[in-house]
A and B are shown apart, each in its own frame.
Chain A
Amino acid sequence: MDFLSLTDASRLQFAMTAMFHWIFVPLTLGLGFIIAFMETIYVKTGDEFWKRATKYWMKLFAVNFAIGVATGIILEFEFGTNWSNYSWFVGDIFGAPLAIEGIFAFFMESTFFAIMYFGWDKVSKKAHLVSTWLTAFGTNLSAVWILIANAWMQYPVGMKFNLDTARNEMVDFWAVVSSPVAINKIIHTVANGYTLASVVVIGVCGWYLLKKRNFDFSIKSMKVASIFGLISLLVVIATGDKSAYQVAQIQPMKLAAMEGLYEGRECAPLVAIGILNPDKNIHNEEPPYLFEFSIPYALSYLAGHELNAFVPGINDLLKDFPEKQAKGKLAIKSLQAYTEAKNTGDTANAAIHKTTLEENFKYFGYGYLEKPEDAVPNVPIVFYAFRIMVILGSFFIVFFLINLWLTKKQQYPQWWLMLTILSIPLIYICSQSGWIVAEVGRQPWTIQDLLPVNAAISGNEASNVITTIILFFSLFTVLLIAELKIMFKIIKQGPETIE
Chain B
Amino acid sequence: MKKTFENIWNFYYEGFTTMSQTGKILWFIIFVKLFIMFAILKVFFFPSELSRYDNDEQKTAAVIHNLTERVIETTPPSLNSN
**Closest residue of chain A to B45, judged by CB?**
A468
What is the minimal beta-carbon distance from B25 to any residue of chain A, in angstroms? 7
Q: Is the CB of A335 within 8 A of B30?
A: no
Binds B, one of A60-68, A231-239, A385-393: A60-68
Q: Which residues of B contact A166 (CB under 8 A)?
A: 60, 63-64, 67
Contact of B64 among A321, A339, A370, A371 (CB under 8 A): A339
B54 within 8 Å of A (CB atoms):
no
Q: Is the CB of B74 within 8 A of A454?
A: yes
Instruction: Name B17-42 residues within 8 Å CB distance of A.
Output: 22-23, 25-27, 29-30, 33-34, 36-37, 41-42
Q: Which residues of A contact B26 (CB under 8 A)?
A: 62-63, 66-67, 486
Q: Which residues of B contact A333 (CB under 8 A)?
A: 68, 71
What is the minimal beta-carbon distance from A352 to any residue of chain B, in angstroms? 17
**At the interface, is chain B mostly helix, strand, loop or mixed?**
helix
Q: Assuming the A-B contacts A66-B30, A336-B68, are A78 and B82 also in contact, with contact meaning beta carbons closer than 8 angstroms in the complex?
A: no
Q: Is the CB of A77 within 8 A of B42?
A: yes
A250 within 8 Å of B (CB atoms):
no
User: Complex: how many Å from CA A165 to CA B62?
Assistant: 11
Q: Assuming the A-B contacts A80-B46, A166-B60, are A479 and B70 also in contact, with contact meaning beta carbons closer than 8 angstroms in the complex?
A: no
Q: Assuming the A-B contacts A66-B29, A282-B82, A479-B33, are A81 and B59 also in contact, with contact meaning beta carbons closer than 8 angstroms in the complex?
A: no
Q: Which residues of B contact A59 (CB under 8 A)?
A: 22
Binds B, one of A83-91, A265-273, A288-296: A83-91
Q: Is the CB of B49 within 8 A of A80?
A: yes
What is the minimal beta-carbon distance from A207 to any residue of chain B, in angstroms? 19
Q: Which residues of B contact A88 (CB under 8 A)?
A: 50, 59-60, 63
Interface size class of A (residues with CB under 8 A): 35 or more
Q: Assuming the A-B contacts A88-B50, A118-B14, A486-B26, are A370 and B70 also in contact, with contact meaning beta carbons closer than 8 angstroms in the complex?
A: no
Q: Which residues of A contact B74 (CB under 8 A)?
A: 368, 370, 454
B56 within 8 Å of A (CB atoms):
yes
Q: Which residues of B contact A460 (CB under 8 A)?
A: 49
Q: Which residues of A contact B41 (CB under 8 A)?
A: 74, 77, 468, 471
**Closest residue of chain A to B30, judged by CB?**
A66
Q: Is the CB of A368 within 8 A of B64?
A: no
Instruction: Name B56-78 residues within 8 Å CB distance of A.
Output: 56, 59-61, 63-64, 66-68, 70-71, 74-76
Q: Is the CB of A118 within 8 A of B11?
A: yes
User: Complex: how many Å from CA A489 to CA B22?
Assistant: 10
A70 within 8 Å of B (CB atoms):
yes
Q: Assuming the A-B contacts A66-B30, A84-B49, A166-B63, are A114 and B37 also in contact, with contact meaning beta carbons closer than 8 angstroms in the complex?
A: no
A223 within 8 Å of B (CB atoms):
no
What is the minimal beta-carbon distance from B71 to any residue of chain A, in angstroms? 4
Q: Which residues of B contact A329 (CB under 8 A)?
A: 71, 75
B12 within 8 Å of A (CB atoms):
yes
B1 within 8 Å of A (CB atoms):
no
User: Complex: how many Å from CA A77 to CA B48?
Assistant: 8
Size of the B side of the interface (Cβ < 8 Å), in residues, is: 43
Q: Which residues of A contact B47 (CB under 8 A)?
A: 80-81
**Closest residue of chain A to B18, judged by CB?**
A118
**Closest residue of chain B to A315, judged by CB?**
B82
A312 within 8 Å of B (CB atoms):
no
User: Complex: how many Å from CA A89 to CA B70?
Assistant: 15
A117 within 8 Å of B (CB atoms):
yes
Q: Is the CB of A332 within 8 A of B68?
A: yes
User: Complex: how many Å from CA A339 to CA B41?
Assistant: 36
What is the minimal beta-carbon distance from A1 to any residue of chain B, in angstroms? 16
**Closest residue of chain A to B26, judged by CB?**
A66
Q: Is the CB of A165 within 8 A of B56?
A: yes
Contact of A77 among B11, B12, B27, B46 (CB under 8 A): B46
Q: Which residues of B contact A464 (CB under 8 A)?
A: 45
Q: Is the CB of B75 within 8 A of A370?
A: yes
What is the minimal beta-carbon distance from B16 to any residue of chain A, in angstroms? 8
B4 within 8 Å of A (CB atoms):
no
Q: Which residues of A contact B50 (CB under 8 A)?
A: 80, 84, 87-88
Q: Is the CB of B60 within 8 A of A372?
A: no
Q: Is the CB of B22 within 8 A of A318?
A: no
Instruction: Name A446-491 residues within 8 Å CB distance of B.
Output: 454-455, 458-460, 464, 467-468, 471, 475, 479, 482, 486, 489-490
What is the minimal beta-carbon distance from A474 to any residue of chain B, in angstroms? 10
**Closest residue of chain B to A87, judged by CB?**
B50
26 A-B residue contacts at CB 8 Å?
A66-B30, A70-B37, A77-B42, A80-B46, A80-B47, A80-B50, A81-B46, A84-B63, A85-B67, A89-B63, A89-B67, A114-B11, A117-B15, A164-B60, A165-B56, A166-B67, A322-B81, A325-B75, A370-B74, A372-B80, A372-B82, A471-B41, A475-B36, A479-B33, A482-B29, A486-B26
Known: A78-B46, A283-B82, A333-B71. 12 other contacts (CB 8 A): A63-B22, A63-B26, A80-B47, A85-B63, A85-B67, A117-B23, A322-B81, A325-B75, A367-B75, A372-B80, A460-B49, A486-B25
Interface residues of A, Cβ cutoff 8 Å to B: 59, 62-63, 66-67, 69-70, 73-74, 77-78, 80-81, 84-85, 87-89, 114, 117-119, 122, 164-167, 282-283, 315, 318, 321-322, 325-326, 328-329, 332-333, 335-336, 339, 367-372, 454-455, 458-460, 464, 467-468, 471, 475, 479, 482, 486, 489-490
